[in-house]
C-alpha cells in the first residue's frame, strides 16, 4: 500500500483509539515488528507512515478484546469485562455474592472474598462459609495470617493503635507489661520493671509536690517530682514548679515552641496533641467543644468535603442516587459541586439524570461525548477506545489474506 497521511485513529496496537474512522478499510496504524513503537504527537495530528515491508495495518473491528464479551443483557458490544465485572465474573450471568457480612469482588475472572480493613480482618482458614474469621493481634496471626510470634518474651503487641498494626515484641527501650509496651523509665505503673507502681504521696525527693505536679517515676525511680500532663518546668526553677502550660502560643506542646503570626495553639484531633494552627492555606475548624475548650483540625476549605468553603459545610449526595447516576459530590474551589465517575459523562448537561453516558462502552461516545467509532463496521468501544485489529491484506492474486 502506498504511503499516505493517516487520520488520528492511527495506533500501533491490536486495539486502540480509532475515533473518526469512517470506512472498514481505513488504516488506523502501521508498525514495523522489528522497530520500537512510533511516537505520536496529539490526537488531531496526521501521521505519515513510510511504505516498508513487514508493516501491519489496523482497521476498525467488531471483535471483543481478550477478557471482554457481549452478554445477553449487554447494552453495547463488548461492554462486559469478565475479569472484573461482579455481575458477570468469568462468564455471563455469574454474579459474585454478598452474603451477610461476606463480600466478594471479581478478580481475574474469579469471585474472591474481601475482608474488612476497618477493623482489620483476615480469612486465614480459607473457608468462605465463616467469612473473615481472624483478627490480627494473636501470637499465631500477629499482623497477617501465619505471622507467628514464637518467643514468649516477644509476644504480639500493638505497634499503632489507630491503624491496627501489630508486631512481635516491644521496640526500643520499652518493655512488655500487662498487654502493652511501656517505658520503664517514666511509667508510673511499671517503674523500672513490670508491676512496680509508684505512690504519688511518696515524696522521695522530700517536701511537697511541685505546683501543677506530683511524685512519680523518673529515670526508673519512684518518688521523683513530675509535671502533670499538659504542664512543664520551662524556666528550670524548681521553686515555682511546673509553671508553664503547654497549650499557649509561647509554649505549644513543648517549652519554647512558639506559634507564628496569626497562629494559635490548638488541640489537633488528628495529631492527638497540641499544635500551632494552621499552616498557610489551611483554616482551623472546631470539631468537638467542651465549654470554651475546643478540639479540631486544620483543613483546606477549597477542597475539604466536610468543610467546603466554610467550616462545617459538608458536600454530600444520597448514596443510592450517586450509585445509580454514576456521580459523586466534590468540593472544588470551596464550592460543593458534582463530578462524573470514571467511565461516565454528562453529555446532555442535565444533572437530573446524572452522568447518563457510558464512555467506556458507548460506540457513539467512546472516551468522550460525541467521539464516535465506525458504525458501518460495527466497531466496538472498550475502555473508552474504539477497537481495531489487523486489516485484511490483498494477496498478489487479488484474493484476501491475513
Instruction: Kindly state whether residues 230 and 184 are assigned to the same domain.
Output: yes
Q: By three-state DSSP, how is residue 388 classified?
A: strand
Does any domain span residue 292? no
Q: How many Å apart are CA 90 and CA 277, to the nearest integer?
A: 52
pLDDT band at 56 (very low <50, low <70, confident <90, very high): confident
**pLDDT value at residue 303:** 95
Check: pTM over 0.85? Answer yes or no. no
Is 1 within the bounds of a domain?
Answer: yes
Residues 353 and 374 in one domain: no
Q: Is the separation of the CB atoms in 192 and 221 below 8 Å?
A: yes
Which comes out higher in pLDDT, residue 368 or 7?
368
Arithmetic mean of pLDDT, 227-240: 92
Within 8 A by CB and 6+ apart from 36, the residues are none
DSSP labels, 12-25: SSSS---TT--STT
Contact (CB, 8 A) for 283 and 295 = no
Q: Where are the beta strands (DSSP E) in 134-243?
A: 156-160, 165-168, 175-177, 180-182, 213-218, 221-227, 231-232
* Domain co-membership, 349 together with 372: no
**Burial environment of residue 382 by CB neighbours within 10 A (0 to 12, 13 to 18, 19 or more):** buried
Distance CA 180, CA 157 (A): 6
Does residue 389 surpass a pLDDT of 80?
yes
Chain mean pLDDT for the chain: 83
Q: Which of 212, 230, 245 is the last residue of a domain?
A: 245
44 or 217: which leads in pLDDT: 217
| Co-location of 321 and 382 in the same domain | no
Residues 369 and 386 in one domain: yes
Distance CA 393, CA 399 (A): 9
Distance CA 87, CA 64 (A): 18
In this structure, the answer to whether residues 353 and 378 fall within a common structural domain is: no
Q: How confident is the model at residue 204 (pLDDT cuts 50, 70, 90)?
A: low
Q: What is the pLDDT of residues 288-330, one digit of tens each?
A: 888 777 889 999 999 999 999 999 999 988 888 888 889 999 9
Q: What are the counts of helices (DSSP H) followed by strands (DSSP E) for the chain?
A: 1, 30
Assess whether 42 and 8 both reside in one domain. Answer: yes
In a domain, 192, yes or no: yes
- 265 falls within a domain: no
Contacts of 266 (CB under 8 A, 6+ apart): 274, 275, 276, 277, 284, 294, 295, 296
Same domain, 313 and 355: yes
Q: How does residue 41 score in pLDDT terms, banded at 50, 70 and 90?
A: very low
The string of pLDDT tens digits covering residues 150-190 is 998 899 998 887 788 999 999 999 999 988 899 999 999 99
Is residue 375, in this structure, part of any structural domain at all?
yes
Whether 193 and 179 share a structural domain: yes
pLDDT-derived band at 394 (thresholds 50, 70, 90) equals: low
Same-domain status, 346 and 369: no
Do 338 and 322 share a structural domain?
yes
Which of 52-56, 65-69, 115-119, 183-187 shows the lowest per-residue confidence on average (mean pLDDT)? 52-56
Q: Which of the pair, 93 or 129, is modelled with greater confidence? A: 93
Q: Which of 23-27, 92-96, 155-159, 388-392 has the lowest mean pLDDT?
A: 23-27
Would residue 55 count as lying in a domain?
Answer: yes
The answer to whether 121 and 128 have CB atoms below 8 angstroms apart is no
Maximum distance among all alpha carbons in the chain?
113
Q: Is residue 3 part of a domain?
A: yes
Whether residue 13 sits in one domain with residue 59: yes
Residue 219 is assigned to a structural domain of this protein: yes
Domain count, the chain: 3
Domain that holds residue 323: 300-359
Amino acid at each position: 500500500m502506498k504511503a499516505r497521511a493517516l487520520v488520528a485513529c492511527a495506533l500501533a496496537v491490536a486495539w486502540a483509539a480509532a475515533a473518526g474512522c469512517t470506512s472498514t478499510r481505513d488504516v488506523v496504524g502501521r508498525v514495523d515488528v522489528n522497530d520500537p513503537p512510533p511516537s505520536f504527537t496529539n490526537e488531531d495530528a496526521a501521521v505519515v507512515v513510510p511504505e516498508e515491508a513487514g508493516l501491519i495495518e489496523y482497521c476498525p473491528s467488531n471483535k471483543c478484546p481478550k477478557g471482554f464479551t457481549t452478554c445477553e443483557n449487554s447494552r453495547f458490544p463488548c461492554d462486559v469485562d469478565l475479569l472484573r465485572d461482579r455481575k458477570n465474573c468469568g462468564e455471563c450471568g455469574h454474579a459474585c455474592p454478598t452474603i451477610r457480612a461476606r463480600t466478594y469482588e471479581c478478580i481475574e475472572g474469579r469471585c474472591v472474598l474481601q475482608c474488612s480493613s476497618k477493623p482489620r480482618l483476615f480469612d486465614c482458614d480459607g473457608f468462605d462459609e465463616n467469612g473473615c474469621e481472624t483478627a490480627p493481634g494473636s501470637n499465631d496471626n500477629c499482623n497477617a495470617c501465619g505471622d507467628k510470634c514464637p518467643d514468649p518474651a516477644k509476644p504480639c503487641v500493638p505497634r499503632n493503635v489507630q491503624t491496627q498494626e501489630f508486631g512481635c515484641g516491644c521496640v526500643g527501650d520499652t518493655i512488655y507489661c500487662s498487654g502493652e509496651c511501656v517505658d520503664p523509665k517514666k511509667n508510673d505503673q511499671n517503674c523500672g520493671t513490670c508491676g512496680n507502681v509508684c505512690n504519688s504521696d511518696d515524696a522521695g525527693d522530700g517536701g511537697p509536690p511541685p505546683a501543677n505536679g506530683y511524685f512519680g517515676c523518673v529515670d526508673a525511680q519512684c518518688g521523683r517530682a513530675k509535671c502533670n500532663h499538659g504542664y512543664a518546668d520551662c524556666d528550670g526553677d524548681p521553686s515555682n514548679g511546673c509553671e508553664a502550660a503547654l497549650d499557649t502560643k509561647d509554649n505549644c506542646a513543648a517549652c519554647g515552641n512558639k506559634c507564628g503570626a496569626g497562629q494559635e495553639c490548638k488541640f489537633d484531633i488528628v495529631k492527638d496533641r497540641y499544635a500551632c494552627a494552621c499552616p498557610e492555606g489551611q483554616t482551623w475548624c472546631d470539631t468537638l467543644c467542651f465549654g470554651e475548650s475546643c478540639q479540631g483540625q486544620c483543613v483546606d476549605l477549597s477542597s475539604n468535603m466536610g468543610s467546603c468553603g466554610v467550616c462545617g459545610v459538608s458536600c454530600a449526595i444520597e448514596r443510592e442516587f450517586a450509585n445509580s447516576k454514576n456521580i459523586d459530590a466534590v468540593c472544588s474551589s470551596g464550592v460543593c459541586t458534582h463530578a462524573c465517575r470514571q467511565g461516565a459523562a454528562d453529555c446532555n448537561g442535565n444533572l437530573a439524570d446524572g452522568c447518563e453516558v457510558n464512555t467506556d462502552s458507548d460506540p457513539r461516545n467512546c472516551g468522550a461525548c460525541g467521539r464516535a467509532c465506525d458504525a458501518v463496521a460495527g466497531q466496538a468501544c472498550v475502555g473508552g477506545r474504539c477497537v481495531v485489529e489487523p486489516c485484511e491484506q490483498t494477496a498478489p492474486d487479488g484474493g484476501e489474506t491475513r
